[in-house]
Amino acid sequence: MQVEILGNTQSAAKQANALVITTKEAVARVWVYSPTVIRVNISKNTDVADTSFAVIQKPADAIDYKETGDHIEVTTSALKLSIQKSPLRFNFYTADGKELSQDDNRFGVNWQGTRVVNYRKLYKDERFIGLGEKTGDLDRRGSSYTNWNSDVPDHGPKSDPLYETFPFFVGMHSGLTYGLFFDNTHKSYFDFGATTDHQMSWFGADAGDMNYYFFGAQNVADIIKDYTWLTGRMEMPPLWTLGYQQCRWSYMSAQEILDIAKTFRDHNIPADVMYCDIDYMDHYKIFTWNHQTFPDPKSFIDKLKSMGFRLVTIVDPGIKVEPGYKQYDEGVAKNYFATYPNGEKFVGEVWPGRCHFPDFFRDDVRQWWGASFTALTEPGVEGFWNDMNEPAAWGQNIPWMVKFGNYYIPEVRNVYGMEMARATYEGTKKILGNKRPFVLTRAAYSGTQRYSAVWTGDNSAYDAHMLLGQRMVNSLGITGMSLVGVDIGGFSGDPTPELMVRWNSLGVYTPMFRNHAMQGTKMREPWRWGEVNEKIIKKDIEQRYKLLPYLYSSFYQSHQTGLPVSRTLAINYTQDTMIYNPSYQNQFLFGDGLLVAPVISTEHTVSVYLPQGEWYRVSSSQHYDGGHTYTVDAPLNDLPVFAKGGAIIPMQNVIQNTNEKGDGILEINVWYGKEASHFVYYEDDGSSYDYQHGTYHKREISFDPNHAHITFGAAEGSMTSKYSRIKLVLHGFNGRMKNFKVNGHAVSGTDAVEFENSGKVITIAY
Ligand code: GLC
């Protein structure tokens, strides 16, 4: 197969809002989406049909460019795209002329058959982060990856590809940052200098266009904002999904689930969610119940609800081939399933045996699928777990000629899971009316954050997998996915009690906190690990519930800006080389103010790196200056968590589940810092969409050490807070700010400050 390299410009002209350049090999189109986002599409097709599954924005109406002799320049207030005409190459600069990223001038964009690749210049100090759910190090320099959504039950810390595809990365060099989203759903490849003798980085796909969005914001947080502006942001999650979730493949009967739920309550261990894995169904037929073991789903779910639990049930895409089964009959009658080119329905084997696969790319199929959820919602299910949607089929190699409508599977395999999650989300949202559904999916593509949470699939019960899971959660955050979980405890294998305890304490700081395990493994619930360990697990889960006001406000940030709850340090400390060191790369910020250092189960001390600024160990209030490494104690009952100087952390008292009201006191913890800081506190009803119409309670809380002032801004939104009182708790002040003011009201250093949520300050002497 010949290599065809993008050659000399033949014509360049404006067509509507695009700049269109032709060469002998292809047509290149350039659109400006915003001052920091430019799209380049290089295609062998002259008429580009824009069929992005990810992008929800449209380009600007006009494009401005300037032609000089051998270059064309597209300039925005933030970016300059300098297009070399012959051979045609695309080179990006900041508006003031700093080089961000260039094509490799020799090879640029080229083809081998249908395969399309872009070779780009690699800078000496260039690092890369991103690609979502991928193994390997935080800094992806020197690594290569493939995107091909796959069911990989036994994956290890080096396996690739995995279940999800997020072809978006951030590059950084020379103190500069840029982002690149290769929106091509075919099997795709990324090589960050791994096999080019560090000459080039490259990305490409088996077919389709060289179609990418270039992001030029000069910090990682703004690049994530732009990427999630382009591909969408999550809605507010139901509050109950942020509580503790207990799952297993499978709790075999309604009675078993009720017993487990009751044991949580008997042991006073907070929890919100129970799961039904595949065995609740009749022979794994989706949208059915096994009437022997789940004889009365409604009364079962009512009982769970009366104990303060929600139920999530699993659904897989495979529809069992069985005449007489509703979904099968309807799907066959209406031709809703994937076919071979001759129209015969494709059959693949999954849990139910021989199955057909719905064509989620069709609107009518998505609607049909969505409407089928009444079988689950009527008895009261509120969460819908979408599994096996890579799609998985035993043997894995669904033939390339299998078709979903007009698409052959190689073109759309990577988006199948997202379209299933979309169908589930849109359908259940319609059925549930004003109630927020919860959708969890295993397979995903860029944009999935609009519909669903994700988890990292079938992990294993060993330390390296726990650390890998954390890196994947952090990396998914770069690609717009904030509500993310891992199977706490490890899906396959049995954790030691120490690992279970450790992983559970890390789970407190995992956006979605779900304990899940494979069939045949030891039972995993908190009380299975001996009294001492149960106590630690309980204390940690309680900490999660105390942090819920902080966590919910952090999700509001994800909803508003796309910034994830779990943040690799590369977002805030991009230029600090220490954070990429494999010893520290698993550390992360949980929201704005907490830094968490994961620790393996066999170590009881750990070396942590605290970036610039000042830090306090939350459990002891010990102060640390940033910019150094420290060896700190990390006993099993005290995972190292640090508050940043200036952190403002709203907390509440321990509740047993998110339906409970608590004592009505919102505790605002302020950790002393030398610089002014602020936090947006956010609250809504936690379950409806009313927040989209102004029913919320939001206020900015600011801390200004220089003027010895803590300010609670005016409340915005029409909702009254569920907390009637606010209690201010100061940490690390040590006499600094002895006489300070809260909203102008003088307070002495010996006062505990409480006030009514209306703003009236009541000080109480210690
Ligand atoms: C897959 C899922 C796992 C689930 C199992 C049975 O392996 O990844 O979470 O428990 O199927 O449904």
Domain containing residue 190: CATH number: 2.60.40.1760
DSSP letter assigned to residue 148? -
Is there a single domain that holds both residue 383 and residue 333? Answer: yes
518 CA closest ligand 1 atom index: 10
Protein residue whose Cα sits closest to atom 3 of ligand 1: 458
Q: Decide if pLDDT at 439 tops 60.
A: yes
Paired tokens of 234:
């999550």
491 CA closest ligand 1 atom index: 9
> Is residue 126 among the annotated active site residues?
no
412: in domain: yes
Protein residue whose Cα sits closest to atom 4 of ligand 1: 249
690: in domain: no
Segment 515-562, tens digit of pLDDT: 999 999 999 999 999 999 999 999 999 999 999 999 999 999 999 999
Is there a single domain that holds both residue 185 and residue 66? Answer: yes
Neighbours of 702 (CB within 10 A): 14
> Is residue 387 among the annotated active site residues?
yes
Is there a single domain that holds both residue 427 and residue 403? Answer: yes
CA R_g for the chain: 27
Is there a single domain that holds both residue 326 and residue 249? Answer: yes
> Is residue 137 among the annotated active site residues?
no
Last residue of one domain, picked from the residues 561, 586, 606:
561
Distance 425 CA to ligand 1 centre (A): 20
Angle subtended at Cα 409 by Cα 408 and Cα 412, rounded to the nearest 5 degrees:
100
Number of DSSP helices (H) and strands (E) in the chain, helices first: 12, 53
- What average pLDDT does range 130-150 have in this prediction? 98
Segment 282-304, tens digit of pLDDT: 999 999 999 999 999 999 999 99
Residues having CB within 6 Å of any atom of ligand 1:
153, 249, 277-278, 314, 387, 442, 457-458, 516
53: in domain: yes
Distance 417 CA to ligand 1 centre (A): 15
Handedness of CA 744, 746, 752, 754 (dihedral sign): negative
Distance 384 CA to ligand 1 centre (A): 14
Distance 567 CA to ligand 1 centre (A): 27
Distance 33 CA to ligand 1 centre (A): 40
Is there a single domain that holds both residue 417 and residue 474? Answer: yes
Is there a single domain that holds both residue 270 and residue 204? Answer: no
294: in domain: yes
521: in domain: yes
* DSSP letter string, 622-675: -EEESSEEEEEE--TT---EEEETT-EEEE----SSTT--TTSEEEEEEE--SS
User: Is the omega angle on the peptide bond into residue 391 within 30 degrees of 0, that is, cis?
Assistant: yes
Residue among 286, 456, 491 to mutate when testing ligand 1 (max atoms within 8 A of CB): 491
Which structural domain range is residue 387 located in?
Answer: 241-561
Paired tokens of 332:
């066959």
Q: Please give the Cα distance from 729 to 672 (Å, whole number).
A: 11
Angle between helices 497-507 and 531-546 (to 10 degrees): 10
Segment 93-116, tens digit of pLDDT: 999 999 999 999 999 999 999 999
Give me the catalytic one of 277, 382, 426, 458: 458
Specify the CATH number for the domain of residue 377: 3.20.20.80
Segment 604-620, tens digit of pLDDT: 999 999 999 999 999 99
314 CA closest ligand 1 atom index: 12
379: in domain: yes
DSSP letter assigned to residue 76? -
Is there a single domain that holds both residue 469 and residue 427? Answer: yes
* CB distance 249 to 277 below 8 Å: yes
Is there a single domain that holds both residue 217 and residue 254? Answer: no
681: in domain: no
Is there a single domain that holds both residue 426 and residue 529? Answer: yes
* Mode of pairing for the β-strands spanning 244-246 and 513-515: parallel
273: in domain: yes
Q: What percent of the chain has pLDDT over 70?
A: 97
Protein residue whose Cα sits closest to atom 12 of ligand 1: 278
Distance 669 CA to ligand 1 centre (A): 40
Is there a single domain that holds both residue 258 and residue 209? Answer: no
- What average pLDDT does range 223-235 have in this prediction? 98
Give me the catalytic one of 272, 390, 638, 667: 390
Q: Please give the Cα distance from 117 to 187 (Å, whole number).
A: 12
Of 192, 295, 206, 198, the closest CA to residue 253 belongs to 295
Is there a single domain that holds both residue 403 and residue 421? Answer: yes
Last residue of one domain, picked from the residues 539, 561, 583:
561
For residue 757, what pLDDT is reported?
Answer: 66
- Give the count of domains, the chain: 2
Segment 467-523, tens digit of pLDDT: 999 999 999 999 999 999 999 999 999 999 999 999 999 999 999 999 999 999 999
Last residue of one domain, picked from the residues 537, 561, 585:
561
* CB distance 389 to 417 below 8 Å: yes
Q: What percent of the chain has pLDDT over 90?
A: 91
Is there a single domain that holds both residue 111 and residue 220? Answer: yes
Residue among 388, 390, 459, 460 to mutate when testing ligand 1 (max atoms within 8 A of CB): 388
